[in-house]
Amino acid sequence: MRLLPLFALVAFATALPAPAPRDSFHWSGKVAEGQIVEIRGINGSIHAEPASTDRVEVIAHKTALNDDPSDIQVKVVERDGGVTVCAVGDSGECLPTSDVSVDFTVRVPRGVRFVARTVNGLVEANSLEADTEAHTVNGNVRVSTGGAAQVDTVNGSIVASVGKITSASKFSTVNGGITVTLSNSVAARVHAETVNGRIRTEFPLALRGAFPARHADGAIGRGGPELKIATVNGSIRLKHKKPV
């Protein structure tokens, strides 16, 4: 077996990229039922899950290729109606301009509403109980909640499961498919459309357009608030939530 000279091994080791600098943040606090916990980021993912206590917990991990992660701070703003947690740059605004990526993990108590906003990153909210919003530009979105939901992205797919439609709701993307699963108790007026894709539905909606269908309209249950589902490049699927 041929052995590499020692100087070759050293050269190879020094050629390996250095690990990205890393920094962390943790916050925990009370947010009353019906109030909002909002997470704002620019670069990085947001992941939400149910809390095991009555306290909101936010964990943020900061990484960077070139910049110093400590250049970006995580700010907590408590206000009437809830709390906002955001990544803050030198300007003091929630609009950092660097290559620092901030990935958030949030534990949300039952009954607390959740809002997630990022630009470059995945948004995921699993098994929440209250109204949920998820907004990104470049990233997929996955949401499941017993409440209502609003979801949008530009370059990414959407997979959502919701228990209620209490007001006008919208699920939209430009480049990606959309799958929405609705509980049997949902009542809404549905308007769904795609430009380059097809629509499939497990609900009795009127399908329009040359095959494959690209428009769907109609009432679910007794009808009610508007539910708009729209994409340009992708397919749409509407599903019944299966009983547990």
How do residues 1-59 score in pLDDT, each as one tens digit? 455 454 444 444 445 455 445 688 999 999 999 999 999 998 999 999 999 999 999 99
What pLDDT does 230 receive? Answer: 98
What pLDDT does 10 receive? Answer: 45
Asked if residue 142 has pLDDT above 80, the reply is: yes
Residue type present at position 236: I
Asked if residue 236 has pLDDT above 80, the reply is: yes
The predicted model gives 84-96 an average pLDDT of 74
Tell me: do 38 and 108 sit in the same domain: yes
Tell me: do 172 and 118 sit in the same domain: no
- Report pLDDT digits (tens) over 94-137: 655 567 899 999 999 999 999 999 999 999 999 999 999 999 99
Give the total number of structural domains in the chain. Answer: 2
Q: Would you say residue 17 lies in a domain?
A: no
Domain around 190: 140-244
Confidence of residue 87 (pLDDT cuts 50, 70, 90): confident
What pLDDT does 90 receive? Answer: 65
Asked if residue 165 has pLDDT above 70, the reply is: yes
Residue 242: C-alpha distances to residues 3, 105, 161, 162, 183 (Å): 60, 28, 11, 12, 8
Confidence of residue 74 (pLDDT cuts 50, 70, 90): very high
Q: Would you say residue 6 lies in a domain?
A: no
Give every CB contact of residue 18 below 8 A, 6+ residues apart in sequence. none
Residue after which a domain boundary falls, among 122, 157, 191: 122
Asked if residue 185 has pLDDT above 60, the reply is: yes
Asked if residue 160 has pLDDT above 70, the reply is: yes
User: Beta strand pairing status for 215-220 and 206-208?
Assistant: antiparallel
The one-character DSSP state at 175 is B
Asked if residue 66 has pLDDT above 50, the reply is: yes
What pLDDT does 138 receive? Answer: 98
Provide the CA 166 distance to its chain's centre, in angstroms. Answer: 20
Residue after which a domain boundary falls, among 92, 122, 152: 122
What pLDDT does 89 receive? Answer: 72
- Report pLDDT digits (tens) over 197-226: 999 999 999 988 767 889 999 999 899 999
Max Cα separation, the chain? 77
What is the three-class DSSP state of 8?
helix
114 touches 37 (CB < 8 A)? yes
What pLDDT does 65 receive? Answer: 79
Tell me: do 67 and 155 sit in the same domain: no
Asked if residue 193 has pLDDT above 60, the reply is: yes
Tell me: do 155 and 67 sit in the same domain: no
What pLDDT does 9 receive? Answer: 44
The predicted model gives 62-69 an average pLDDT of 81
Give every CB contact of residue 7 below 8 A, 6+ residues apart in sequence. none
The HSE-up count of residue 41 (CA atoms within 13 Å, CB side) is 31
pLDDT averaged over every residue in the chain: 88
Tell me: do 117 and 187 sit in the same domain: no
Its pTM stands at: 0.87
Tell me: do 41 and 103 sit in the same domain: yes
Tell me: do 94 and 186 sit in the same domain: no
Tell me: do 193 and 115 sit in the same domain: no
Calpha distance 192→229 (Å, rounded): 5
Residue 141: C-alpha distances to residues 158, 161, 217 (Å): 5, 11, 24
Residue after which a domain boundary falls, among 94, 122, 150: 122
